[in-house]
Chains A and B, each alone.
Chain A
Amino acid sequence: MPELIDILIARYNYWVVICLMMIGLYAMMAKNNLIKKIIGMSIFQTAVILFYVSIATKHDASIPIIGHGHNGHHAIHAADYMNPLPHVLMLTAIVVSVATLGVALALAVKAYQQHDTLEEDEIIEQLKTEYLSQ
């Protein structure tokens, strides 16, 4: 049992990832304001990126940049460096998350111009009255 407790404490990154994911999911589901929902979506995406960067970290390793690279060829021990592959993939994920955020904010601005409010329940009420008056 103490070994299990030690393992759970040593993986604190993943507990923080779970907390941030649940914060983002709560904001997307339970908040009424559209901007708050979009902030929750961004928090969720950042939590996923933090999960992948936590996978790539390694104790007693340096960042994945080769020192003295211009001094000719000498052997590179891959165990001395962190894993650079998740970092490269997460650069793409950050750019995609910014594109998603831009589209979501543009849709929120159009919804405000149509309904003159950002609250979801008021928008649903307006749509209901519009549907019943037809």
Chain B
Amino acid sequence: MIWQFDLIILTLVVISGIASISIRDLLGASVLFGAYSFLMCLAWAVMGAVDVAFTEASVGAGVCTVFFVAAVFRTSRRSKD
């Protein structure tokens, strides 16, 4: 585990998490949540949990983003907060 990489990736994870709950456009929030999941999978790959990392990459960054985009497509795209 290289601690510089770990610290940079964890900082980016926190930033993208805050951005995905503060943006007003719900499609943008879904895409930012996919970016959050992918950065979290990079953090786990750096920590040495390889199986957890590629499960998160296929499931979190793949299927969850598709679910969110489908739900936003069936509902509304604007959010008040």
Task: State the A residues within 8 Å of B (CB).
Answer: 12-13, 16, 19-20, 23-24, 26-27, 31-33, 35-36, 39-40, 42-43, 46, 49-50, 53-54, 56-57, 59, 61-65, 82, 87-88, 90-91, 94-95, 98, 101-102, 105, 108-109, 112, 117-119
Can you spell out 26 A-B residue pairs with CB atoms less than 8 angstroms apart?
A16-B14, A19-B14, A35-B26, A35-B30, A35-B68, A35-B79, A36-B29, A39-B29, A39-B68, A42-B64, A50-B44, A56-B49, A57-B47, A62-B48, A91-B52, A94-B52, A94-B60, A98-B63, A101-B67, A105-B70, A108-B71, A108-B75, A109-B71, A109-B75, A112-B75, A118-B75
Cross-chain contact B26 with A87 (CB below 8 angstroms): no
Contact B63 A109 (CB under 8 A): no
Contacts of B44 in A (CB 8 A): 50, 53
Query: A12 contacts which of B7, B26, B52, B76 (Cβ < 8 Å)?
Result: B7
Counting chain B residues whose Cβ lies within 8 A of the other chain, the interface size class is 35 or more
In the bound complex, residues from chain A placing their C-beta under 8 Å from that of B40 are: 46, 50
